[in-house]
């Protein structure tokens, strides 16, 4: 037995590769219940990943700035944060199959590290922003320019929040904005048409006025239905196929079975949560929110549909107070939210690390990172999640599994209060744009109120259809790491320009061991990426 590395193993078997069996497809697609069980640990994990990645981006961006005005947290502090995140990714913790006290401990150590990361990032932003003033400093933790909404307060009125739309925040960049010039209105509208119909520049939606469910959704740009319309016959307008409505939550009761945390059991019955106790509408210039309150036995659910005049997607939120226990007598209650897309024999695609994979639309539970989508030709419709991993594609329908209240080994894994967020996207998309949209949903723009410094700064500009995975300080603290991934299956020409003079730059492996030097000119490097490859650039300034 030799303790070695992956690289040495493959070098050793290279001479006999033609003698080895070939295994195609995915391995070990079992224990689908683990994609969802213990929603709290899934939320903790995603929060840690997003927070620590954002902090890394800010630290690296600062280290590229020649005119540094602030101290940068040490790599030791960053390593301490990631050690906690990785500890909680141990399989018996992250998959939801540990006992209750394990999750109490995981929540405790994660909450301390999350607060530490927030404090470090806020310190960086406040020091970059300079003395107190009436500007807002906005930071983009992702590697491409983007638009978005921010909520801020004014120094003279800190208890009231305002919403503004900001645009063209550069990759990994900082921009200071005058509060007087922030865009708090829109030339577009979320227009109420009557009869439950609403329209934006991007789509027309029919929300049932009694249930708050989506009866139809039409893509105005591509002139096609997003969802299968739910229509009634004249003889009975109350019956309109509500069981096929968009954003319908179903309670699926699994029969009692062994290993309930790990395995999704046989579904004995499904109950559709159609009726609503109350529907409310709140609206401002930049968004419209329609809320529906529902009850199921001893539990309550508030669903919100959020529509924007300036963005083509629809956001959904749910506040769930779940009090239905699973047991060896009653089985396991599982909640799913469902969308029936208007597509003919679509393909189902799921985000995986540095790419996406196609799987059958066969009604089984499949795992994804941040998104799953149905594709017909070049038109896609999908669901982006914030902390869920279980999806069920069935024909042209796609469901996101929200929670499972199992009974072993934890006697009540998902009882209590939950906040769930997901986003519906549709249109002529691709794997890259879906992955970027998912990253934006999970890592919104960050801002610091009440600063004075004038700044618009980006440490790097990346051109080429590649996914920008991260910008981070190197492990040795002497350079900056930029990681890119080609996820479309095409050869791509990439151009990377830095805002600071480069001393030298190398292609490194995932461990940041330098392999090949790259030629550069005017702080710019050009290179080719082969399909489905990862490029780790180690940059010395």
pLDDT mean over 309-325: 97
Answer yes or no: is pLDDT of 244 > 70.
Answer: yes
Domain made up of 459-540: CATH architecture? Sandwich (2.60)
Contact by Cβ (8 Å): 528, 497: no
pLDDT value at residue 70: 57
In the prediction, which pLDDT does 362 show?
96
Q: Is the pLDDT of residue 67 over 60?
A: no
What confidence score (pLDDT) does residue 24 get? 85
* pLDDT at res. 199: 98
The predicted structure's pLDDT at residue 195: 94
pTM of the predicted protein model = 0.94
Is the per-residue pLDDT at 160 higher than 90? Answer: no
Distance between CA atoms of 527 and 492, rounded to whole angstroms? 9
pLDDT in tens, 36-45: 999 999 999 9
Record the tokens describing residue 488, joined without a space: 């479309």
pLDDT averaged over every residue in the chain: 94
> What letters, b where the CB count within 10 A reaches 16 and e where it falls short, cover 242-271?
bebbbbbbbbbbbebbeebbbbbbeeeeee
6 three-class SS: helix
Lowest mean pLDDT among 69-78, 198-207, 456-465: 69-78
pLDDT confidence band for 23 (50 / 70 / 90): confident
For 361-412, the pLDDT digits (tens) are 999 999 999 999 999 999 999 999 999 999 999 999 999 999 999 999 999 8
Q: Where are the domains of the chain?
A: 31-129, 131-184+433-458, 191-427, 459-540
The CATH architecture to which 191-427 belongs is: Distorted Sandwich (2.70)
Q: Span 191-214, mean pLDDT? A: 97
Token pair in block for residue 84: 């906690």
Query: What average pLDDT does this structure show over 169-174?
Result: 96
pLDDT of residue 162: 86
* Contacts (Cβ under 8 Å, ≥6 apart) of 442: 46, 50, 370, 386
In DSSP notation, 28-85 reads: ----GGGGTSSHHHHHHHHHHHHHHHHHHHHHHHHHH-SS--S----HHHHHHHHHHH
Other CB atoms within a 10 A radius of the CB of residue 366 amount to 21
Q: Predicted confidence band at 68 (pLDDT cuts at 50, 70, 90)?
A: low
Q: What is the mean pLDDT of residues 219-241?
A: 93
CA distances from 315 to 149, 318, 424, 523, 532 (A): 13, 10, 6, 40, 30
135: nearest Cα among 477, 421, 451 = 451
Predicted pLDDT of residue 385: 97
> With helix as H, strand as E and coil as C, how does 462-477 read?
EECCCEEEEEEECCCC
Tell me the mean pLDDT in the region 337-351.
97
The pLDDT assigned to 237 comes to 85
Lowest mean pLDDT among 295-304, 398-407, 447-456, 458-467: 447-456
Cβ contacts of 137 within 8 Å, gap of 6 or more: 125, 128, 129, 174, 175, 176, 177, 447, 448, 451, 453, 455
Token pair, residue 244, equals 């096929």
**Across 93-102, average pLDDT:** 94
Which CATH superfamily, name and number, covers 31-129? Glycoside hydrolase family 38, central domain (1.20.1270.50)
Local confidence band at 130 (pLDDT 50, 70, 90 cut-offs): confident
Q: Is the predicted pLDDT of residue 493 greater than 80, yes or no? A: yes
Given this model, what pLDDT does residue 429 score?
A: 98
pLDDT category, 69, cuts 50, 70, 90?
low
Instruction: Tell me the average pLDDT across 281-309.
Output: 97
């Amino acid at each position: 037995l030799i303790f070695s590395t992956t690289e040495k193993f493959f070098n050793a078997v290279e001479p006999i590769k033609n003698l080895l069996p070939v295994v195609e497809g995915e391995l070990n697609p079992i224990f689908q219940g683990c994609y969802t069980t213990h929603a709290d640990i899934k939320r903790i994990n995603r929060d840690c990943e997003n927070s620590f990645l954002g902090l890394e981006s800010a630290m690296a961006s600062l280290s590229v700035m020649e005119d540094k005005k602030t101290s940068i947290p040490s790599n030791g502090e960053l390593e301490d944060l990631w050690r906690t995140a990785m500890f909680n990714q141990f399989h018996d913790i992250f998959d939801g199959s540990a006992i209750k006290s394990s999750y109490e401990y995981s929540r405790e150590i994660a909450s301390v590290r999350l607060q530490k990361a927030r404090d470090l990032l806020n310190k960086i932003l406040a020091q970059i922003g300079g003395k107190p003033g009436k500007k807002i400093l906005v930071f983009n933790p992702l590697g491409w320019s983007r638009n978005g909404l921010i909520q801020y307060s004014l120094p003279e009125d800190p208890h009231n929040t305002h919403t503004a739309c900001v645009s063209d925040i550069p990759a990994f960049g900082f921009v200071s904005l005058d509060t007087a010039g922030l865009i708090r209105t829109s030339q577009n509208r979320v227009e109420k048409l009557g009869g439950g119909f609403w329209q934006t520049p991007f789509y027309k939606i029919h929300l049932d006025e009694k249930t708050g469910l989506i009866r139809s959704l039409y893509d105005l740009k591509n002139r096609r239905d997003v969802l299968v319309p739910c229509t009634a016959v004249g003889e009975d307008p109350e019956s309109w196929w509500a069981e096929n409505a968009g954003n319908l939550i179903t309670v699926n009761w699994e029969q009692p079975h062994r290993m309930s945390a790990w395995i999704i059991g046989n579904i004995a019955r499904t109950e559709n949560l159609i009726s609503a106790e109350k529907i409310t509408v709140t609206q401002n210039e930049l968004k419209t929110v329609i809320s529906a309150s529902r009850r199921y036995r001893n539990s309550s659910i508030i669903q919100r549909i959020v529509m924007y005049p300036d963005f083509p997607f629809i956001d959904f939120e749910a506040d769930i107070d779940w009090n239905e226990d699973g047991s060896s007598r009653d089985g396991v209650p599982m909640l799913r939210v469902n969308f029936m897309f208007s597509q003919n024999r679509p393909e189902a695609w799921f985000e995986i690390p540095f790419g996406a994979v196609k799987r059958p639309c066969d009604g089984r539970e499949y795992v994804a990172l941040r998104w799953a989508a149905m594709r017909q030709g070049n038109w896609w419709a999908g669901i982006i999640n914030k902390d869920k991993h279980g999806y069920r594609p069935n024909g042209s329908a796609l469901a996101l599994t929200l929670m499972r209240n199992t009974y072993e080994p934890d006697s009540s894994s998902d009882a209590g209060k939950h906040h769930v967020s997901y986003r519906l996207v549709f249109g002529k998309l691709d794997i890259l744009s879906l992955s970027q949209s998912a990253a934006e949903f999970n890592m919104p723009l960050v801002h610091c109120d009440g600063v004075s410094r004038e700044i618009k700064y980006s440490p790097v500009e990346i051109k080429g259809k590649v996914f920008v995975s991260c910008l981070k300080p190197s492990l040795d603290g002497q350079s900056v790491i930029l990681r890119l991934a080609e996820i479309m299956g095409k050869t791509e020409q990439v151009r990377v320009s830095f805002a600071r003079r480069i001393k030298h730059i190398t292609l490194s492996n995932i461990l940041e061991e330098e392999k090949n030097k790259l030629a550069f000119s005017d702080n710019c490097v050009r290179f080719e990426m082969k399909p489905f490859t990862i490029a780790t650039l180690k940059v010395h300034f």
